[in-house]
């Protein structure tokens, strides 16, 4: 059966070049990067080359890059590394759970947290962030691109107001890196999270950019790895894979790769909207990363549509998290003003470098007929149409 993967915001396939770089480490360079002998030196050099590649991608110094086990750890490190009891943190209502649940935990540690709202397009208003500032505000954590809608946040404006207020600014750029240019100095952030597996690198590795001079309380204690910021023997194959993926992501931004993806995404969106009635794009009037489309198909149970499409070979996802058998509507879509039913009726299509025009044709063949079939079974849809 033909299979098309449109769930690249969940994870991306490893590029062959990344695999080759990792394979060389597994096969030939097994040393511990902390060892002073030849084997250790070789591995250390590979880790430092990867650090440089990530630094080039972000426009920072290599010493400002701390490798982590992924985006979640990078987000947690930023928040727990800075915020203390009695301090105030500003975040948004559409953050990934890695930030949102870390903020919830900060509350139990005596921090105050304000989650600023978003508008109907899923964008934070920087003025809301400004209004939320308090004398004890320590940190603002607002994501760069949303994982469900792809909507880009006004991070440069937030960076400016954070600097004016002398407050630290962290941005979760996990879904932005590799899709749009990310420059820490242009953004004006002190901390920025990224994840390797969202840019065709391996899972289980990521990085946190930490602006020089920013002192973070470590989350783990042990050896003096990562300049005493993150104890534990480095995941060298993962880090080398991330380094190679970062180089390839940078090249992809420099050529027409992202314009090609945007073209595919736009055709998918436009044709679906024309072919299927009672359908809307979530966040359609906001700037978005080029690969993501969140579409609400009225009166559809998103989970049922995902399963029906998967049976025919198309992998997409809902924005909903499934916990204990109950499908919670997405907090991102409800924060944008969608009703719980509309949120549950939304599907995320997220394209990747490996996708082709034929993949889009495949989806365009499949989705309208599958939606129509499910709607035939929907009493709500049939009553209102």
Ligand X SMILES: Cc1ncc(COP(=O)(O)O)c(C=O)c1O
C-alpha Rg value of the chain to the nearest Å: 21
Q: What are phi and psi of 348, to 5 degrees?
A: -105, 125
Q: Is 259 exposed, middle or buried (0-12, 13-18, 19+ CB in 10 A)?
A: exposed
In the list 72, 114, 279, 318, the residue contacting ligand X (rule: CB under 6 A) is 72
Alpha-helical regions (H) of the chain: 16-28, 38-58, 71-82, 97-108, 126-132, 155-165, 184-187, 225-228, 236-254, 257-275, 302-312, 331-335, 340-344, 357-376, 379-384
Count the alpha carbons within 13 Å of 119 in the hemisphere toward its beta carbon.
15
Is there binding between residue 8 and ligand X (CB under 6 A)? Answer: no
Residues 310-369 touching ligand X, rule: CB under 6 A, are none
Is there binding between residue 153 and ligand X (CB under 6 A)? Answer: no
Is there binding between residue 70 and ligand X (CB under 6 A)? Answer: yes
Query: Where does this chain touch ligand X (CB under 6 A) — which range of 34-42, 169-177, 310-318, 328-336?
Result: 169-177
276: which 2 tokens?
Answer: 């299927």
Q: Which sign does the torsion angle of CA 239, 82, 99, 179 carry? A: negative
Q: What is the x/- site pattern for ligand X, positions 181-220, by CB under 6 A?
A: --------------x-x--------x--------------
CB of 325 to ligand X, least distance (A): 22
CB of 258 to ligand X, least distance (A): 18
Is there binding between residue 292 and ligand X (CB under 6 A)? Answer: no
Query: Where does this chain touch ligand X (CB under 6 A) — which range of 66-74, 158-166, 219-227, 248-256?
Result: 66-74
Closer by beta carbon to ligand X, 41 or else 93: 93
280: which 2 tokens?
Answer: 């809307």
CB of 73 to ligand X, least distance (A): 7
Going by C-beta distance under 8 Å and a sequence separation of 6 or more, which residues neighbour residue 209? 58, 60, 64, 65, 66, 184, 189, 191, 192, 193, 194
Q: What is the x/- site pattern for ligand X, positions 17-56, by CB under 6 A?
A: ----------------------------------------
In the list 7, 172, 190, 269, the residue contacting ligand X (rule: CB under 6 A) is 172
Closer by beta carbon to ligand X, 202 or else 368: 202
CB of 203 to ligand X, least distance (A): 7
In the list 53, 175, 294, 317, the residue contacting ligand X (rule: CB under 6 A) is 175
Residues 228-267 touching ligand X, rule: CB under 6 A, are none
Q: Which sign does the torsion angle of CA 235, 95, 61, 84 carry? A: negative
Closer by beta carbon to ligand X, 71 or else 329: 71
10 Å Cβ neighbour count for 366? 16
CB of 147 to ligand X, least distance (A): 3
| Alpha carbons 71 and 75: distance in angstroms, whole number | 6
Q: What is the largest CA-CA distance in the chain?
A: 75
Does the active-site annotation cover 322? yes
Is there binding between residue 71 and ligand X (CB under 6 A)? Answer: yes
Give the catalytic positions in this structure: 322
List interacting residues with ligand X (CB under 6 A): 70-72, 75, 96, 98, 143, 147, 172, 174-175, 195, 197, 206
């Amino acid at each position: 059966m033909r299979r098309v993967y449109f769930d690249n915001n969940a994870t991306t396939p490893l590029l062959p070049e990344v695999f080759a770089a990792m394979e060389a480490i597994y096969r030939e360079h097994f040393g511990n990067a902390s060892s002073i002998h030849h084997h250790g030196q070789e591995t250390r050099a590979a880790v430092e080359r990867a650090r440089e590649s990530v630094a080039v991608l972000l426009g920072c110094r290599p010493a400002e890059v701390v490798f982590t086990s992924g985006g979640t750890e990078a987000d947690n490190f930023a928040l727990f590394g800075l915020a203390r009891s009695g301090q105030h943190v500003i975040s948004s209502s559409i953050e990934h759970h890695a930030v949102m649940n870390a903020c919830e935990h900060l509350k139990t540690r005596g921090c105050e947290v304000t989650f600023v709202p978003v508008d109907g397009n899923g964008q934070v208003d920087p003025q809301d962030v400004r209004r939320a500032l308090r004398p004890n505000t320590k940190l603002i954590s607002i994501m760069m691109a949303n994982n469900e809608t792809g909507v880009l946040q006004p991070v440069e404006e937030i960076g400016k107001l954070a600097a004016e207020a002398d407050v630290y600014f962290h941005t979760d750029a996990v879904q932005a890196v590799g899709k749009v240019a990310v420059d820490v100095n242009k953004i004006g952030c002190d901390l920025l999270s990224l994840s390797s597996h969202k840019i065709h690198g391996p899972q289980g590795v990521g990085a946190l950019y930490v602006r020089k001079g920013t002192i973070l309380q470590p989350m783990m204690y042990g050896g003096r790895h990562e300049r005493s910021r993150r104890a534990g023997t480095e995941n060298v194959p993962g880090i080398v894979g991330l380094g190679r993926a970062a180089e390839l992501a940078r090249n992809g931004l420099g050529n027409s790769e992202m314009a090609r993806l945007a073209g595919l995404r736009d055709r998918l969106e436009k044709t679906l909207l024309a072919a299927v009635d009672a359908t809307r794009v979530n966040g359609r009037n906001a700037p978005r990363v080029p690969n993501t489309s969140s579409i609400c198909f009225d009166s559809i149970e998103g989970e049922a549509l995902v399963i029906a499409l998967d049976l025919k070979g198309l992998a997409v996802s809902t924005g909903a998290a499934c916990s204990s058998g109950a499908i919670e509507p997405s907090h991102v879509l409800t924060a944008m003003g969608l009703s719980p039913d509309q949120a549950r009726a939304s599907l995320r299509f997220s394209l990747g470098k490996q996708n082709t025009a034929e993949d889009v044709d495949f989806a365009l063949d499949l989705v309208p007929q599958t939606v129509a079939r499910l709607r035939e079974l929907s009493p709500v849809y049939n009553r209102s149409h």
